[in-house]
Amino acid sequence: MILVTGASGSVGRRLVRRLAGTPTTAFVRDPAKGDALGGRYAVGDFDDPATLSAALKGVDRVFLNAGGAVPAAGEQPMVRQQLAVIDAAVAAGVSHVVKLSVWHARVGGKLAEGAHGVIEEYLKASGLAWTILQPNGFMQNFSTGTAVTTHDGHLLGAYGDAGVSYVDCEDIAAAAAATLTDPRPGETFVLTGPESLTHSEIAEKLSAFVGRGIRYLDLPAADFATHLTTLGLPDSFATDVATLFAEVASGRLAPVSTDVATLTSRSPSTFDTFLRENATQIRAAW
């Protein structure tokens, strides 16, 4: 039995769909979201250990996935939550955990990179067999309203002219399904799309697709942080986000990896394919 945590999320629900036919339980907070997934599910919360233990009965493999970085003071909540899942998995006798992390995860990194770095180290020291998936930014950030925009609908950031090899959540889910059904213990995979695009190129593609002029406006990192505080984000979070964006501007998210193809035996989706396959959400978001 596989337990998929974060099953209602952007990767989790695609993974549950791909695992149809393999004994799988989706871990959800909201029964309505479990019903919508259409298969077996357990209701619980990472912050309620008893629900984790109950959901892990009879489970031998776990997909470890929770929400991303949030404007919280101190340690990111995902650290406490994912460490609780790892502890419960050890206690339940789980054999293998596939963890959804982030590219460049490392102890001491900013926001999600630092939080995932701590969780990765904890998982590696747990005695469980593990596989780590380190995706680049999700293409779905451009269909869910996660991308930062101006009040009149242009793309805003501090990425400069650097490319980013965004990856489609469908490809992350396919890679996760592959490593859950054909385990690759002790391996870390970097998941990217097949091409590196600048944010000006992404804005051009969005413009052509939705039929409205969308530009990419690039700000110096400090100005971008100030803009985020005007949106209500705490100063320290805004500064960390701007620092991460400035690191992206150095090109660290531009390289293209072959790991999606290695795990799934097919090429990852291009941004154009992502636009076509998510047309309704893209048009609603832009």
Residues contributing to the site for ligand NAP (CB under 6 A): 6-10, 12, 29-30, 33, 45-47, 65-68, 78, 81, 100, 102, 112, 135, 137-138, 141
Return the structure tokens found at 226.
């100030």
User: What is the enclosing helix (H) or strand (E) of 35?
Assistant: helix 31-37
Residue 169: CB minimum distance to ligand NAP, A: 8
Residue 64: CB minimum distance to ligand NAP, A: 9
User: Is the four-CA dihedral 53, 56, 60, 63 of positive or negative sign?
Assistant: negative
Alpha carbon 269 to chain centroid, angstroms: 16
Question: Cα-flanking dihedrals φ and ψ of residue 26, to 5°?
Answer: -90, 130
Report the alpha-carbon distance of residue 243 to residue 224 in Å, rounded. Answer: 10
Q: Contacts from 114-118 at CB under 8 Å and sequence distance 24+? A: 114/76, 115/69, 115/75, 115/76, 115/78, 115/79, 116/78, 118/79
Residue 67: CB minimum distance to ligand NAP, A: 4
* Cβ closest to ligand NAP, residue 9 vs residue 109: 9
Residue 252: CB minimum distance to ligand NAP, A: 13
* Cβ closest to ligand NAP, residue 39 vs residue 68: 68
Q: Are 71 and 237 in contact (CB under 8 A)?
A: yes
Residue 213: CB minimum distance to ligand NAP, A: 25
Q: Which residue is nearest to ligand NAP (CB)?
A: 9
